[in-house]
């Protein structure tokens, strides 16, 4: 299992598509914080703030994260490399996909964390950039008061990274079914936008809302930022890991029925 995990990580690192996904994410992060700073100091107005928000993690991680999942799973089928590992068993293959994807998504989220820490510890005043604060990390910058323990910042990062792992895990069964990286990317990106609408609709029906609250799509800046509680962060991690495990189970069920040609 360890060899399969390391081999998959190495393959993804060598993948041009993966490198493009990370490049887009890291560049978008830099632009997000730079432009948010320009909004804060008045060099960009409210009309431009919406476009700055488009560079926040909420959109970029869904786009690049679903691309990474499509490459991780889909390329094994497209390139027929799935034949070389099928002997390990389908459960282990799916478990490996989930583990590798969790590492990659956590690394995708990392630059937003670094950006917020640079602003906080560099004493960069972002007051006024609330219009761009769709990100937990911008919320951390704006809400920082100087008395937050470093451990809570780390936990905030881990909990939000795991929430993205949980949210994006829905792309794994989609990748097993669709197999094409481009199709998986399109599915993930549109589902990411749809999830915000689902939250609004769920809140109007009590039963649906109760179910929705048991998923990682229920967590946001208020619950996971440095102003949130330790309990909420640990609960978010638990819910996200359980949800990712369920999506792994669904993926295994689809994989069992899939023909390997």
What are the average pLDDT values for consecutive 10-residue runs of the chain, which has 261 residues? 76 88 94 90 80 83 90 73 59 85 93 91 85 81 80 88 92 87 88 75 72 81 81 92 92 74 53
Decide: pTM greater than 0.85.
Answer: yes
User: What local confidence, expressed as pLDDT, does residue 150 receive?
Assistant: 80
Range of the domain at 88: 2-257
User: What local confidence, expressed as pLDDT, does residue 181 receive?
Assistant: 86
User: What local confidence, expressed as pLDDT, does residue 82 receive?
Assistant: 59
Distance, in Å, from the CA atom of 180 to the CA atom of 173, rounded to the nearest integer, reads 12
User: What local confidence, expressed as pLDDT, does residue 190 receive?
Assistant: 86
Distance, in Å, from the CA atom of 168 to the CA atom of 133, rounded to the nearest integer, reads 21
User: What local confidence, expressed as pLDDT, does residue 167 receive?
Assistant: 92
User: What local confidence, expressed as pLDDT, does residue 193 receive?
Assistant: 78
User: What local confidence, expressed as pLDDT, does residue 162 receive?
Assistant: 93
Count of domains for the chain: 1
Alpha helices in the chain (DSSP H): 2-14, 16-40, 46-53, 57-69, 75-78, 82-85, 90-121, 136-143, 150-168, 171-178, 181-202, 206-212, 221-224, 230-257
């Amino acid at each position: 299992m360890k060899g399969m995990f390391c081999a998959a990580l190495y393959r993804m690192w060598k993948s041009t598509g993966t490198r493009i996904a990370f490049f887009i994410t890291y560049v978008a992060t830099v632009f997000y914080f730079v432009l948010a700073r320009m909004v804060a100091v008045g060099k960009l107005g409210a009309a431009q703030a919406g476009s700055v928000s488009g560079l926040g993690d909420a959109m970029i991680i869904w786009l690049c994260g679903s691309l990474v999942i499509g490459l991780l799973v889909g390329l094994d089928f497209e390139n027929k490399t799935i034949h070389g590992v099928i002997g390990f068993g389908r459960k282990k293959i799916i478990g490996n996909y989930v583990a590798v994807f969790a590492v990659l998504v956590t690394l995708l989220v990392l630059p937003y964390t670094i950006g917020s820490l640079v602003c906080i510890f560099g004493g960069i005043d972002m007051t006024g950039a609330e219009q761009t604060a769709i990100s937990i990390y911008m919320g951390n910058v704006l809400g920082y008061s100087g008395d937050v323990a470093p451990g809570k910042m780390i936990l905030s990062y881990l909990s939000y990274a795991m929430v993205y792992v949980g949210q994006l895990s829905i792309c794994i069964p989609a990748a097993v079914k669709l197999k094409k990286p481009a199709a998986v990317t399109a599915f993930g990106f549109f589902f990411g936008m749809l999830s915000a609408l689902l939250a609004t609709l769920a809140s109007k029906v009590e039963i649906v809302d109760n179910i929705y609250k048991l998923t990682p799509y229920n967590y946001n800046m208020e619950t996971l930022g440095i102003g949130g509680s330790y309990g909420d962060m640990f609960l978010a991690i638990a819910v996200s890991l359980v949800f990712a495990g369920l999506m792994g189970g669904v993926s295994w069920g689809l994989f069992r029925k899939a023909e390997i040609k």
